Chain A
């Protein structure tokens, strides 16, 4: 296996090659790289590949120290729909 075939985002099965090519082609920041490839948009919410996606994007674009590169959104842990919307009926 080469670097290009290596999976970076396991949930959405996005490879290193796809991320590097996309970052190169569009000179994108982390958010745009995520939206174009779906890396970090799977079941785990990007908890595993976030830093890798960031690193690939930051090789092409400068970091803005005042921003979080990939926004966090609730729920930050996988949660059952029942628990998410649970309203007690009593």
Chain B
């Protein structure tokens, strides 16, 4: 029987596989996609100091290291169920059933849709799908697009589309309804964006982040925010306009925009139509934890981590024997944090399987997760550290509870 199955060959899964192989574990890596690298494959952005983070290059480096170690990586394989039986883990896929002593879930994140009339028309896609088409398959999603949803992910992908020579006519808010929630409220979106203002080469937004420390200034900021948006990489970012409808008969032909009040109400008479042939919807990312949910692992919903996450410790163990997690399944963060979590998970697994892992190297790996987090260029949620502390408290409560039961 294998020592370890890793589900997901993104930054967390591949880093874990490499670390575990270096410690002599027998591993199988499974991924649903056709190429290894996960969401790394789409990423391309400039870091402070002028270095570019090229995700394709990073995933190539990881794949080469994995190749040199002779790792068994099965691509295009979907896992539909997992079960623990007689102390080992069974992984049911659309090909065959695999078995191992331990299981690492590194399944990443999924994208949430936004609800706008017309969102089911052909030509509407998630912003991540446009990223994969452009950066991985090198196919233009269309000639001219509109992005609905103003957040860290949509801004980063807008820039990537711009670099690829695809026109983005606007990034605008979704209309206000029960599904779109705070992502449709200009003041809320402005607050969320202020902490990433360093990404925007716009004097207005940079100035904004310094001035808008109090509620009054924020209110003034959104009130006076230019109705036609602030240009970022030549793309108008519209915080005071919402897409109220996606237009088209058989496919996307355009969107109808309207000016909204600071709290997201449509001002009637302000409607205008912009022509476009594709629309990206960006409802944000949430941890893709469905497999963990099948195991009976406790879950906690933590907004700062992007949704419901399986209970785990800082060394990436879950309360279930032999089950570990790493990467965005534990909360939405960047690829570098995912890699450091993958390394930590692999060390914990090797240790639990009886390999000689020094306590110091495990605690150093845990420390590196925190330092990578503090140095991160992009933070998907400004209070991610608060979210991590909440989860740690839940873990401690759980551990204490268990001890009480045993006594």
Chain A contact residues, CB within 8 Å of chain B:
1-3, 5-8, 10, 16, 20, 47-49, 51-52, 55-56, 59, 63, 65-69, 71-77, 79-80, 83-84, 86
Q: Is the CB of A66 within 8 A of B298?
A: yes
Least CB distance from A53 to B in Å reads 9
Size of the B side of the interface (Cβ < 8 Å), in residues, is: 37
B47 interface contact, C-beta 8 A: no
Which residue from chain B places its CB closest to the CB of A60 in the assembled complex? Answer: B178
Partner of A76, one of B81, B113, B177, B180: B81
Q: Is the CB of A1 within 8 A of B245?
A: yes
Knowing A1-B245, A72-B294, A80-B94, the reply to whether A55 touches B81 (Cβ < 8 A) is: no
Residues in B neighbouring A1, C-beta threshold 8 A: 117-118, 245
Q: Is the CB of B177 within 8 A of A7?
A: no
Q: Is the CB of A16 within 8 A of B179?
A: yes
Separation of A49 and B120 alpha carbons in the complex (Å): 12
Q: Which of B247-288 contact A (CB under 8 A)?
A: 283, 286
Partner of B290, one of A5, A56, A76: A76
Which of B94, B175, B299 gathers most chain A CB within 10 Å?
B94
Least CB distance from B96 to A in Å reads 8
User: Taking chain A's interface residues, is the majority helix, strand, or loop, or is none over half, making it mixed?
Assistant: loop
B291 interface contact, C-beta 8 A: yes
Q: Which of B21-48 contact A (CB under 8 A)?
A: 32
Q: Is the CB of A66 within 8 A of B299?
A: yes
Residues in B neighbouring A63, C-beta threshold 8 A: 301
Least CB distance from B287 to A in Å reads 11
Least CB distance from A50 to B in Å reads 8
Chain B contact residues, CB within 8 Å of chain A:
32, 78-81, 92, 94-96, 110, 112-113, 115-120, 175, 177-181, 245, 283, 286, 290-291, 293-294, 298-302, 308
Residues in B neighbouring A77, C-beta threshold 8 A: 32, 78-80, 94
Which residue from chain A places its CB closest to the CB of B126 in the assembled complex? Answer: A48
Which residue from chain A places its CB closest to the CB of B390 in the assembled complex? Answer: A65
Which residue from chain A places its CB closest to the CB of B247 in the assembled complex? Answer: A1
Separation of A2 and B117 alpha carbons in the complex (Å): 6
Q: Is the CB of B115 within 8 A of A52?
A: yes
Least CB distance from A55 to B in Å reads 5
Least CB distance from B99 to A in Å reads 14
Least CB distance from B107 to A in Å reads 10
Which residue from chain B places its CB closest to the CB of A80 in the assembled complex? Answer: B94
Q: Is the CB of A79 within 8 A of B178?
A: no
Residues in A neighbouring B308, C-beta threshold 8 A: 68-69
Partner of A8, one of B79, B80, B115, B181: B115
Residues in A neighbouring B79, C-beta threshold 8 A: 76-77
Knowing A59-B178, A68-B308, A84-B80, the reply to whether A3 touches B117 (Cβ < 8 A) is: yes
- Given pairs A16-B179, A51-B113, 16 additional interface contacts (CB within 8 A): A2-B117, A3-B177, A6-B117, A8-B115, A20-B178, A51-B286, A52-B112, A52-B179, A56-B178, A65-B302, A68-B293, A73-B294, A75-B80, A77-B80, A79-B78, A79-B80
